[in-house]
Amino acid sequence: MQGPLIDSLVRQGITRRTFLKYCATLASMMALPPTAGRAMAEAMAAAATGGQRPSVIWLPFQECTGCTESITRSHSPTLEGMIFDMVSLDYQETLMAAAGHQAEEALHNAMKANAGKYLLIIDGSVATGQGGAYSCIAGRSNLDLLKEAAPGAAAIIALGSCAAYGGLPNAKPNPTGAVAVTDIIKDKPVVNIPGCPPIPVVITGVLAHFLTFGSLPELDKLGRPKAFYGDTIHDRCYRRPFYDQGKFAKTFDDEGARKGWCLFELGCKGPVTYNACATVKWNDSTSWPVESGHGCLGCSEPHFWDAGGFYKALSMPADPLKMAGVATVAGAAAGVAVSFANRAKKATAKAGHETTTLADLEKE
Amino acid sequence: MGIEQIPVTVVSPDAGLSGNAHPLLREIVEMMGALACAGTPGILDLAALPLTPADKVWLRERLGTGQVQATLDAEGISSVEETACPGVWWVTHRDARERVLSEFIEVTLVPEILKAYPEDVQMGQAYLENVISELS
């Protein structure tokens, strides 16, 4: 195992065995064959350092910086950071020291010097209303910048649900005309890494794959890496056996909630959401929404923001995403029962001239 | 009110045996054949298919405990343990907070991660030469 990168890591006190352990784990997380860990270690060890690193240009559009927060707050800093040491991050507004015309100059120099080879990361949606005037950097619209930067890119990573699907800015009535990167760019390979925000290891995994094999990982029909978005949250949920047994929490403070039963009836979107939260978890693998007692919001799926209520069970009617169609039979039956119960409750409230609460409306 | 006063007790569902561990034994036997005849090593990634904790215990019991147990301190403790079947190793990588990062069954004479790398040996050599020169 030789090369500039591993030499640089050894100087920082990271041993070859530690590096091999990290690569074996990364390959396992990416569902690559177990022998790929060794191949990744060899290829990445030999990666260039200094001026020879592949150029990455990261453009933030209509976004909240949550995606940058997620990535930069990833844990085991020496190793996740290592992936970023392997690339030359030539433009990232939030992280770069340069500002003003110097920053814009760095962007244009990088685009020119690495034409056809750089990796373009976009976070945030693209505002198209009023000619793109709703979101500008250095006096130019995001739409313009994207059209300028995309042709020279080897590949584009649409980071976060906004770049991948339009995200929250796209929520009805979409005042800024927000769209996804793939709505504008049709002639480049685009990897969608959705999530609000996405899991840090997903982006480092995609970068590692690109740097190791010189290609993008296998993608699903929504352009997401299959390794991380291959299973639903529900498939891998540790509360799944309760669903199978028909044990559901009915409110957030009942016996079922205290015993950690399935959150399907409280609106969990786990059965229709493809993401790796259930296995990779969050905050240094401390916990994840369902483990913390709250259902999945479905943040890595298109239009989750307009899906009709986070606390509405999937099998309820009035479902703009047509999510109900994919819920399993058992779940659908359970959901129908909830729906009837809620309707009955509302009817009783109406009959008794009781106040209908917001929660009642939400469940209907 | 402190967090310890909130009466939450999460009951772990007892998933029991899924039946997924059983075919792995056959796969390991095949890998052992390849190692013995052609010297070809093999690896199984235990995260690659759904195994319940009970499945892993079952698998571990069937494979037994062998003569070699090694621990590796690399940003967290990893354990490399030979099973009762020589050449079949159970490798568990943990992070600094002792959570399992990845788990493999390796069928090989010596797992790759235990070997010292020639480049590291050279560094050790330089270090020891330095120690000797300071003695004189």
- Which of B50, B72, B104 lies nearest to residue A17, judging by beta carbons? B72
Residue A271 has pLDDT above 50, yes or no: yes
pLDDT, tens digit, for every residue of A133-145? 999 998 999 999 9
Residue type, A255: E
Assess A72–B contact: CB distance below 8 Å, yes or no.
no
Question: Residue A34 and residue B95: Cβ atoms within 8 Å?
Answer: no
Buried b (16+ CB within 10 A) or exposed e, B91-125: bbbbbeeeeebbbbbbbbeebbbeeebeeeeeeee
CA distance A77 to A12: 12
Residue B90 has pLDDT above 70, yes or no: yes
Percent of chain A at pLDDT above 70? 83
What local confidence, expressed as pLDDT, does residue A205 receive? 83
Residue identified by tokens 């990168």 is: A5
Residue B19 in tokens: 């039946």
Contacts of A334 (CB under 8 A, 6+ apart): A246, A248, A264, A265, A313, A315
How sure is the predictor about A1, in pLDDT bands with cuts at 50, 70 and 90? confident
In a 3-state reduction of DSSP, which class is residue B91?
strand
Phi-psi region of B116 (alpha: psi -120 to 50; beta: other; left: phi over 0): beta
Contacts of A42 in chain B (CB under 8 A): none
Residue A146 has pLDDT above 80, yes or no: yes
How sure is the predictor about B48, in pLDDT bands with cuts at 50, 70 and 90? confident
Least confident range from A4-8, A16-20, A105-109, A166-170: namely A4-8
Q: What is the mean pLDDT of residues A279-291?
A: 85
Contacts of A15 in chain B (CB under 8 A): 74, 120
Question: Residue A17 and residue B9: Cβ atoms within 8 Å?
Answer: no
Residue B120 has pLDDT above 70, yes or no: yes
Question: Residue A15 and residue B102: Cβ atoms within 8 Å?
Answer: no
Residue B85 has pLDDT above 90, yes or no: yes
What local confidence, expressed as pLDDT, does residue A359 receive? 54
Contacts of A25 in chain B (CB under 8 A): 93, 101-102
In a 3-state reduction of DSSP, which class is residue A88?
strand
Residue A204 has pLDDT above 60, yes or no: yes
What local confidence, expressed as pLDDT, does residue A343 receive? 52
Question: Residue A259 and residue B93: Cβ atoms within 8 Å?
Answer: no
The residues facing B79 across adjacent strands are: B71, B92
Interface with A, mutate which of B12, B31, B40, B117 (most A CBs under 10 A):
B117
What local confidence, expressed as pLDDT, does residue A297 receive? 96
Greatest Cα pair distance, chain B, in angstroms, is 68
Residue A214 has pLDDT above 60, yes or no: yes
What local confidence, expressed as pLDDT, does residue B65 receive? 95
Assess A280–B contact: CB distance below 8 Å, yes or no.
no
Assess A20–B contact: CB distance below 8 Å, yes or no.
yes
More confident residue, A200 or A336: A200
Contacts of A33 in chain B (CB under 8 A): 45
Q: Which of A8-22, A117-131, B48-62 is predicted most confidently?
A: A117-131
Residue B54 has pLDDT above 90, yes or no: no
Question: Residue B74 and residue A31: Cβ atoms within 8 Å?
Answer: no
Q: What is the mean pLDDT of residues A236-263?
A: 91
| Nearest CA distance, A77 vs chain B (angstrom) | 11
Residue type, A349: A
Assess A17–B contact: CB distance below 8 Å, yes or no.
yes
Closest-CA residue to B108 (of A141, A154, A38): A38
* Strands of the A55-60 sheet, one edge to the other: A88-92, A55-60, A118-123, A153-159, A190-193
More confident residue, A87 or A115: A115
C-beta of residue A60 within 8 angstroms of C-beta of residue A68: yes
For residue A1, give Cα distances in angstroms to A4, A41, A44, A255. 10, 7, 9, 55
Residue A4 in tokens: 């500039």
What local confidence, expressed as pLDDT, does residue A65 receive? 93
What local confidence, expressed as pLDDT, does residue B67 receive? 94
Q: What is the mean pLDDT of residues A200-221?
A: 85
Mean of the per-residue pLDDT values of chain A: 83
Contacts of A236 in chain B (CB under 8 A): 50
CA distance A5 to A122: 26
What local confidence, expressed as pLDDT, does residue A80 receive? 60
Residue A135 in tokens: 């979101």
Residue B133 has pLDDT above 90, yes or no: yes
- Say what the ipTM of the complex is: 0.84
pLDDT, tens digit, for every residue of A314-337? 876 544 455 544 444 444 444 445
- Which of B15, B48, B120 lies nearest to residue A16, judging by beta carbons? B120
Closest-CA residue to A121 (of A65, A192, A69): A192
What local confidence, expressed as pLDDT, does residue A320 receive? 45
- Cβ burial of A230 (10 Å; 0-12, 13-18, 19+) is middle
What local confidence, expressed as pLDDT, does residue A32 receive? 79
Q: What is the mean pLDDT of residues B53-76?
A: 92
Residue type, A100: G
Q: What is the mean pLDDT of residues A174-190?
A: 96
What local confidence, expressed as pLDDT, does residue A7 receive? 83
Question: Residue A34 and residue B48: Cβ atoms within 8 Å?
Answer: yes
- Closest CA in chain A for residue B121: A16
Buried b (16+ CB within 10 A) or exposed e, A241-265: bbbeeebbbeeeeeebbbebbbbbb
The residues facing A121 across adjacent strands are: A58, A157
Residue identified by tokens 């995403």 is: A321
Buried b (16+ CB within 10 A) or exposed e, A67-103: bbebbbebebeebbebbbbbbbbbbbbeeeeeeeeeb
Q: State the sign of the Cα–Cα–Cα–Cα dihedral B71, B72, B73, B78.
A: negative
* Preceding omega of B118 cis (within 30 degrees of 0): no
In this structure, the strands spanning A190-193 and A55-60 are: unpaired
Q: What is the mean pLDDT of residues A169-176?
A: 96
pLDDT, tens digit, for every residue of A66-89? 998 888 776 554 556 666 677 888
